[in-house]
Amino acid sequence: MSQQDDLQYDEDDAVKFIRNFLPGEVASKFSDDDINYVIDLIYEFYESKGYMDENNDSEVDIIEDELTEYVITNARKNGFTRFDADDVSMVVQGELEYCDSIGMFE
């Protein structure tokens, strides 16, 4: 069994975790679908970097600024413009915290 099989990532739990991570005024700006969209962009970034390749046994070093820039840039390209960069950045930070809480980066 690979390490990825051991992960207990749950999309609904991730959204709840991120919503609780965000300050109230920021959390109220995002629907669950909005948060899921940001999560999808995060995983697109991981795939583009080869982090999700099951043959990649090397240590992954996620550069948060690079990840955040990727998410913001691609969200804007796709018309996801009603949120400012700081708010989107907080959702990215919440996702990273969720992944850390389930031991995904160990």
Closest CA to 30 of 82, 93, 97: 82
**Which of 24, 4, 26, 16 has the alpha carbon at shortest distance from 104?**
4
- Asked if residues 72 and 45 have their Cβ atoms less than 8 Å apart, the reply is no
Please state the domain extents for the chain: 3-101
How many whole angstroms separate alpha carbon 42 and alpha carbon 67? Answer: 7
Closest CA to 19 of 11, 28, 10, 6: 28
pLDDT in tens, 76-99: 998 888 889 999 999 999 999 999
53-85 residues labelled b (16+ CB within 10 A) or e (exposed): eeeeeeeeeeeeeebbebbbebbeeeebeebee
Using one digit for the tens of pLDDT, what is the confidence trace for 19-41? 999 999 999 999 999 999 999 99
The dihedrals phi and psi of 80, each to the nearest 5 degrees, come to -85, 75
Quote the pTM value: 0.84
- Give percent above pLDDT 90 in the chain: 60
